Structure 1
Amino acid sequence: MSVDASQFKNALKLWASGVTVVTAQSEQQGLKGMTATSFSSVSVDPPQILVCLNQNTDTGAVVLEQKRFAVNILGTEQQNVSNQFAGGATQEERFAGVAWEAGENGAPLLTDALASLECKVVDQVLAGTHWIVIGEVQKVVCRGGDPLLYYSGAYRQLSGD
């Protein structure tokens, strides 16, 4: 039995997730960034995360070329940042008006994000249309706040205390 793409996408809409922006930088290709909800912790010791990046994205290409990147966890006030880093915008448009600073590994850290994790690539696996990139977290910056959530095609916020 085969599942078609629309059935699969409809099922995944029912999975609530946080929203991140994955960033990288290279001298030749400049700043790169993209919105990603396919992000998860992998291990505490050593500290590792994974992110899934479409193999056709320029951000993913720089992550794999440079072997270093950052994952910026967005807060509730950053819906516009999520939208700006998604879709068809140019990389220059994505970074326009967004405060950032270079991390120790050179990847852009969004200074208004809840947290930024600087990572080095330790493994990559091609699975269908995406690279599963496992990064070892080398530095963490936590700023606090409430997370931006995505569920059923819309942004959401935590309710209650």
Structure 2
Amino acid sequence: MSVDASQFKNALKLWASGVTVVTAQSEQQGLKGMTATSFSSVSVDPPQVLVCLNQNTDTGTVVLEQKQFAVNILGAEQRDVSNQFAGGSTQEERFANVGWEVGENGAPLLTESLASLECKVVDQVLAGTHWIVIGEVQKVICRSGEPLLYYSGAYRELTQA
């Protein structure tokens, strides 16, 4: 028995997640960035994370070519940033209204994100339409604030009990 795409998507809508923007840069292709909710820690020792990137994206192409990237964990006030990097705009437009700086590994770091993790690609696995990219975290910058959450097709906020 196979699961159709709509059933699969409906089930995954029930998984709440944080929102990130994965960024990379190359001399030939310039700045690249995309919104990604498929992000997870992998290991503490060594510190590793994974992101899942559609193999047809220009951001994914640059990440795999450069073997360097950053994961920027978005804060609750960054819904517009998430939407801006989600598609429909050019890479130039994505970075135009966002504060950023170049990290030590060359990847853009969004200066208003909750955290920025600079990573070196240590492994990649093609799974269906996406690359599972494992990165060893080389540097971390943490800032204060509440996370941007995504659940059932909409942004959500934390509530205090």
TM-score scaled by structure 1? 0.99
Number of the residue aligned with 2:149? 149
- Asked whether 1:130 is paired with 2:130, we answer yes
Rounded to whole Å, the distance in 1 between the matches of 2:15 and 2:90 is 28
Seq. identity, %: 88
Give the unaligned 5+ runs of structure 1.
none
Corresponding residue SS for 1:3: coil
Once the two structures are TM-superposed, the CA of residue 96 in structure 1 deviates from its matched residue by: 1.1
Q: Which of structure 1's runs of 4+ aligned residues deviate more than 2 A?
A: none
TM-score scaled by structure 2? 0.99
Rounded to whole Å, the distance in 2 between the matches of 1:93 and 1:112 is 17
Corresponding residue SS for 2:77: helix
* 1:87 maps to amino acid: G
Give the unaligned 5+ runs of structure 2.
none
Once the two structures are TM-superposed, the CA of residue 108 in structure 1 deviates from its matched residue by: 0.2
CA RMSD of aligned residues (A): 0.6
Once the two structures are TM-superposed, the CA of residue 87 in structure 1 deviates from its matched residue by: 1.9
Once the two structures are TM-superposed, the CA of residue 151 in structure 1 deviates from its matched residue by: 0.1
Q: Could you give the per-residue CA deviations for residues 29-69 of structure 1, whole angstroms, max 9, x where no partner exists? A: 00000000000000000000000000000000000000000
Number of the residue aligned with 2:76? 76
Aligned ranges 1:92-131 → 2 under 5 Å:
92-131=92-131
Q: Could you give the per-residue CA deviations for residues 78-101 of structure 1, whole angstroms, max 9, x where no partner exists? A: 000000000221101111110000
| Aligned residue pair count | 161
